[in-house]
Amino acid sequence: MVKIPRENSTDFNPLWVGNTIYFLSDRNGLVSLFAYDTATRKVSEALKSEGFDFKSASAGPDAIIIEQFGSLHLYDLNTHQSKTVNIRVAGDFAQVRPGFVKVEPKRIHAFNLSPTGTRALMEAWGEIFTVPTDKGDIRNVTHSPAVADRDPAWSPDGKWIAYFSDEPGEYELQLRQQNGLGQVRHIKLGQSPSFYYAPVWSPDSKKIAYSDKRLNLWYVDVATGASKLVDTDYYEGPQFNQNWAPDSKWVAYAKQLPSHLHAVYVYSVEQGKIYQVTDGMSDALYPVFDKNGKYLYFTASTDLGLAESAGWDMSSDNHLVTRSAYIVVLAKDLPSPLAPESDEEKVKEEIKAAEKEKSKDKNKSKDKDAKSDASRMPIRPPMATKTRKRTKTAKTRIRTKIKTIKAKTKIATNRLWCG
């Protein structure tokens, strides 16, 4: 009996092939395949384990089969190379057998609509389907068994359907024509590998905003396939709810603050800058631009902090959280749609200006006439003035006398009727 030399290691599963004894050992760290030459009495590492220990081994005429992490590897004794053995076995359980299943409503996820509402877009059983609203057949766009296709989104121009797929092994963004024909376009995403969520097309169908498991918000340029990091959230469970402006130049989203409340932000694609919209004194979520890009709507709660505290804080009050809708005016010269209204008579500024100018002209004319009259006033001699005063006095006396006669006549008439 020959003892294979060892030092502080675990050796097991010996295999005698010709003049060599193969065995599994952890003497170099991970459990790997070693060989002992009976002629030279030397030990060498035949096949190094990568990642996980070798669990067992079995020898054949010209190869050794090795088990590692649920897979089998074949080690060739002549070439000293190994390869993975691909095995596909149909299971005895109904859940893992190939077959047909109905797409029930409870299996439908990520429901969406085409730009005109002609067809509906949805995910079910890892496949992407489009369904007509009236006429036509249900269409399986992906036809990808053993692949998980997630979160479909229809481009605003109606041409493309975007979705996440793990077809290559890790999730990526795939673009496919809306009719399911043609080649699939593969786009690698930021900080892969990761899980990705909520693809949102820009209105011009040139960019897609999305988020990932690493708390990041991105957008990818569809033409170049390049991803740009927009922002990163503070805590787990982000609720970005990203929304594009109608001109595709701004992205609105919500992000958590150190206080665990959310604030609304906007990101400029052209400038690459972030602007905080809300003050952080409320929990603001779900920002949405209006169709003209003039206003930004969102919901906010001022009583969330009382109901939800961080961790296992027992001082929180488990009451009903309320939210209200708010609006932000995005330009200084735009009126608020919620400003108080009052019916008032409006006068055009042009009319006011014309009337003011006309009034000035009249005043100037009067002043001019007055000055002209003053310059033409005759100068009478003292005798003529004295005569004028006498004539006026005589006229006054005659008027007084006439009034007295009329009064007496009226009195006499009244007496006659009374008699």
For 275-311, the DSSP string reads EE-S-SSSEEEEEEE-TTSSEEEEEEESSHHHH--ST
Instruction: Give me the amino acid identity at 319.
Output: H
Reported confidence tier of residue 100, pLDDT bands at 50, 70, 90:
confident
Residue (of 250, 244, 279) closest to 264 by Cα position: 279
Domain chopping of the chain, boundaries = 11-85, 105-309+317-329
Yes or no: domain 11-85 corresponds to CATH 2.40.10: yes
Global pTM value: 0.62
Residue (of 110, 107, 210, 208) closest to 152 by Cα position: 110
Does pLDDT of 91 surpass 90? Answer: no
State CA 270 to chain mean position distance: 17
Cβ burial, residue 20 (10 Å; 0-12/13-18/19+): middle
What number is the average pLDDT over the span 381-388?
Answer: 48
Torsion of the alpha carbons at 39, 41, 46 and 50, rounded to the nearest 10: 170
Q: Which bin fits 237, alpha (ψ -120 to 50), beta or left (φ > 0)?
A: left
What number is the average pLDDT over the span 80-101?
Answer: 80
CA distances from 49 to 13, 75, 275, 384 (A): 15, 12, 51, 142
Q: What is the pLDDT of residue 314?
A: 56
Sign (positive or negative) of CA dihedral 245, 249, 251, 252: negative
Q: Which bin fits 225, alpha (ψ -120 to 50), beta or left (φ > 0)?
A: left
Q: Output Rg (C-alpha) for the chain, integer angstroms.
A: 47
Lowest mean pLDDT among 100-114, 253-267, 323-337: 100-114
Contact (Cβ atoms closer than 8 angstroms) between residue 251 and residue 209: yes
Task: Domain 105-309+317-329: state its class.
Answer: mainly beta
Q: Report which of residues 8 and 63 the model is more confident about.
A: 63
